[in-house]
Amino acid sequence: MIFRNRPLVRLGAAALLASGVFTAVGSPAQAAGTETDLSLDVVGTKVADGATGKYAFAKVTNKGENTPSELGVRIDVSKLDYSKVAVYPFVEKACDVEAEPGKPPTSVTCWATEEALPGPGETIDLPVVLVKMVESLDEAYSAPVGFTVLSKDDTNKENNTKSATIEFTKESGADLAVLADDVKNAVTVKNGKIQAAGDLHAGGTAQLIYDVWNQGDVATAGFKVTVKLPKGVTFTEAEDECEYAADRASLVCTYPDLPFIPLEQYTGDGDAVPGGSFYHLLSVGADVTAGALTGGTVSVEPILPAKGLTTQSTEIKNLPDNMTPIETDDLDASDNSDGYAVVVAAEGGGGGGGGGGGGNGNDDGGLPVTGAKAGLLGGVGVAVLAAGGAMFLVARRRRVVLVTPGDEKPTA
């Protein structure tokens, strides 16, 4: 799997190591007509006490009118105590590391590949591993980490930096995260399967795909998701678990008996899973103007088991009739919501075909349409999540790349 704009992050070590959005590639010269406004946000920087670590994300959104010729993210880790914790991008190839010989890094810089450069309204995500370098911390630990967007094409430097506090807490709880793909492809439903159908045009049908998973140290009983669509887009079909606004431009779906165990606890055995991929079919208005329709969001909140139930209840398929799930605050709410764009191509022109989520699964003839349309995509997200349990072991091995950068430098 190759990550493209608004990648479908499958969260397993194998999937992230196979990603190609950010890598140590050369920085090209500025091209004419590539000036734009790149904006940076950082989410998911708070770690539960019982978790070894988690994925945070640096999100770069193109708020301008052109596609940049280059895009890099620099992470300042000079304030971290590497005897306790480590922070670094989790990508296929080593990024450019600044460090004195034999000492921890002071910064790490990754450049986006050409195919991953975000068009107007689009976003790309850089996964960043936060991991304990010891078995456990005696007390809570926090430190500032700086993030900076690098691009010759950026015309607005005011939204290019973000200082995030990395927190390894002594708190326990569920910690849901969500990532939503930019919608860039049309789809059709043929013989009960969803098929990719090229660029998305006005009047077409598309597919919104998002991933939800639990990075905390407490299992959920289920979760609630709220989806808002950009103006000019509506939901194609109604789903039993969801309530729709009158204009069919937003919904709330409640899954009280869809439990997610903590990612690190997933073994691949039994029925318990740490998360999965979901989708909805969308209809684009026939009068919509070509371009990026922004303002779409996907937000999730956990539902915890009723008091007294153990984590073993995460394998049950249906909660007892006399049980009412309890909704609760998420340990780290910063990664509970994600924005996305619906990219509409002009008739006869290029658009988003070949981008993020619309064509997912078409290599094997399309995605089967079974059960609720927002249900788990059988095996797509969960199978790769099986590698997630090994993620932090991989992370600890990869710390050598950080403290001994060697010759891993981008070419000119």
Whether pLDDT at 117 is above 50:
yes
CA 409, CA 412: separation in Å to the nearest integer? 9
CA 399, CA 405: separation in Å to the nearest integer? 10
Quickly tell me which residue has 């050409």 as its tokens: 114
Percent of the chain with pLDDT over 90: 46
In 115-203, which ranges are E strands? 123-132, 141-150, 161-168, 176-180, 185-190, 193-199
Rounded to the nearest angstrom, the gap between the alpha carbon of residue 169 and the centroid of all alpha carbons in its chain is 22
Give 318: exposed, middle or buried? Use CB within 10 Å, 0-12, 13-18, 19+. exposed
Instruction: Please tell me what DSSP assigns to residue 28.
Output: P
Whether pLDDT at 133 is above 90:
no
Higher confidence at residue 343 or residue 2? 343
pLDDT in tens, 336-365: 999 999 999 998 755 443 333 333 333 334
What is the SS3 assignment for 380? helix
pLDDT in tens, 150-165: 999 999 999 999 999 9
Quick one: average pLDDT of 133-160? Answer: 94
pLDDT band with cut points at 50, 70 and 90 for residue 270: low
